[in-house]
Amino acid sequence: MQHTKSRYFFLILILGSLTALAPFSIDMYLPGFGAIAKDLNTNVEEVGLSLSSFFIGISAGQLLYGPLLDKYGRKKPLYLGLLVYIIATIGCVLSTSIQSLIWLRFIQAIGSCAATVAAMAMVRDLFPVQDNAKVFALLMLVVGASPMIAPTAGGYITKAFGWHSVFIILAILGAVILVAVLLSLPESYQPDPSYSLKPGPIVTNFLQVLKEPQFYTYAATGALGFSGLFVYVSGSPKAFMDIYQLSGEVYGWIFAFLSIGFIGSSQVNTLLLKRFRSQQIVPVALVCQSAAGVLLVTTALAGVLTLPVLLILLFLFLCCLGFVNPNTAALSLAPFAKNAGSASALMGAIQMGLGALASASLSLFTAKNVLPMVALMACSAVLALAVLLLGRRKIKNEVAGVEGAVVLH
């Protein structure tokens, strides 16, 4: 589909806002962990469970919305998800116990993931396949506003007005996005009445997606690499505010600074795609990400992981993710047209599921240092590289088999 420059920009802005809704919901309340714990008579570790429940909700919810997007088109399920998000966010404002906050964050995530899945599927609908990696990189530019703005703003808002005000702002943000979608976003996929929502056909459809080697290789690779970000997000409040004794405001600024690496590299990725294919960029980025992870662990074990060293290595680690994420997303969805909604949902569910698992694993450690956080980050990168190398061999063998069959025929 061809777009004028202004229309192209507007589409990217709306799709990017949809994609950024969940990250904003994660990042903006992080500096308020201490205030929430004090107000709800609990501790920071238990408040962290509200973050894990959000990750779990996104993972489960994406599997729900994928089939709905393929049957009813993209916009109707998106309306439903955004309404759920707004209502749950208002519930968070009124929450009086950590248990209710944990459950409401789960429901909030169920709503927000409709935005994520719909945005990913609509990239596949609205733009040529060869442009998908570039579009995903541009979405990362909009999404990148979240870690740059949300924690910093959240720190100041929490200090001035209390943590409840953060959720009030998130509810307003959800309402603004809903209006923008309603008035300005085109329907990119016609409803398919033949698509069944019975469990059997849905499972069969997901299994067909999973049978595609290119999908499971790059979806798993991207999810494992990205789980390092979830560990960082979950562990950073304790690392910076408890271990390194920084204030919530300073933590917000550091979080914003580190996010520049992720955003900047995703834009450099757009330039690299003019000379290199996504398949060439991903392995190099993962080798560098693994090296940064190993250095984090090594310096932590040696007792020389000072705050400046930690910041430098985290910056490098996040830079690598800016190259990995848009390329693995584009490569995962490339084989699909009809089932783009289900493929997008499954990709997101794998990513969020592994991220939630990694995030929850961090809560099992009670060490008063950053070693558990950096060790899990290093493992995520090394495992992603291993999966990529094994999966590419499978893709290569399958392509060779298909070509051989054509020759014989």
| Mean of per-residue pLDDT scores for the chain | 84
Tens of pLDDT, residue by residue over 186-206, are 776 777 777 767 778 778 878
Distance CA(145)–CA(23), nearest Å, equals 9
Q: Is the pLDDT of residue 404 over 50?
A: no
Per-residue pLDDT band at 271 (split at 50, 70, 90) = confident
Kindly indicate the confidence band of residue 408, based on its pLDDT and cuts at 50, 70 and 90: very low
Reading the block at residue 167, the tokens are 């959720």
For 325, half-sphere exposure in the C-beta direction (CA atoms, 13 angstrom radius) is: 29
State which of 118-122, 160-164, 169-173 shows the largest mean pLDDT: 169-173
Q: Domains in the chain: how many in total?
A: 1
Residue 150 has a pLDDT of 80
Span 252-263, pLDDT tens digits:
788 878 888 877
Predicted confidence at residue 325, as pLDDT, reads 85
Average pLDDT over every residue of 335-354 = 76
* Residue owning tokens 């309404």: 83
**For residue 343, what pLDDT is reported?**
80
**In angstroms, rounded to a whole number, what is the distance separating the alpha carbons of residues 114 and 96?**
27
Mean pLDDT of 172-189: 86
Percent of the chain with pLDDT over 70: 90
Residue 274: exposed, middle, or buried by beta-carbon count in 10 A (0-12, 13-18, 19+)? Answer: exposed
Among 110-119, 145-154, 220-229, 300-309, where is mean pLDDT lowest? 145-154
The larger pLDDT score, comparing residue 217 to residue 402, is at 217
- Residue 343 sits in a domain of what CATH number? 1.20.1250.20
The answer, yes or no, to whether residue 403 has pLDDT greater than 70, is: no
Q: How far apart are CA 307 and CA 233, in angstroms?
A: 17
- What mean pLDDT is predicted for residues 113-126? 81
300 within 8 A of 370, measured Cβ to Cβ: yes
Rounded to 5 degrees, what are φ and ψ at 351?
-65, -50
Give yes or no for a contact between 96 and 199, defined as CB atoms under 8 angstroms apart: no
Task: Take residue 327 and report the two structure tokens written for it.
Answer: 């390329």
For residue 232, give both structure tokens: 């960082």
Buried b (16+ CB within 10 A) or exposed e, 318-345: bbbbbbbbbbbbbbbbbebeebbbbbbb
- CA dist list (Å): 88 to 25, 104, 210, 400, 408: 12, 6, 32, 50, 59
What string of H, E and C letters represents the secondary structure of the chain?
A: CCCCHHHHHHHHHHHHHHHHHHHHHHHCCHHHHHHHHHHCCCCHHHHHHHHHHHHHHHHHHHHHHHHHHHHHCCHHHHHHHHHHHHHHHHHHHCCCCHHHHHHHHHHHHHHHHHHHHHHHHHHHHHCCHHHHHHHHHHHHHHHCHHHHHHHHHHHHHHHHHCCHHHHHHHHHHHHHHHHHHHHHCCCCCCCCCCCCCCHHHHHHHHHHHHCCHHHHHHHHHHHHHHHHHHHHHHHHHHHHHHHCCCCHHHHHHHHHHHHHHHHHHHHHHHHHCCCCCHHHHHHHHHHHHHHHHHHHHHHHHHCCCCHHHHHHHHHHHHHHHHHHHHHHHHHHHCCCCCCHHHHHHHHHHHHHHHHHHHHHHHCCCCCCCCHHHHHHHHHHHHHHHHHHHHHHHHHHHHHHHHHHHHHHC
pLDDT tens for residues 360-398? Answer: 787 777 677 889 999 999 999 999 999 999 988 888 776
Q: Is the pLDDT of residue 1 over 60?
A: no
Local confidence band at 172 (pLDDT 50, 70, 90 cut-offs): very high
pLDDT for residue 381:
95
**pTM for the full predicted model:** 0.71
Query: What is the domain range of residue 153?
Result: 5-186+194-408
Confidence of residue 338 (pLDDT cuts 50, 70, 90): low
User: What is the reported pLDDT for 409?
Assistant: 46
Note whether 328 and 136 are within 8 A (CB): no
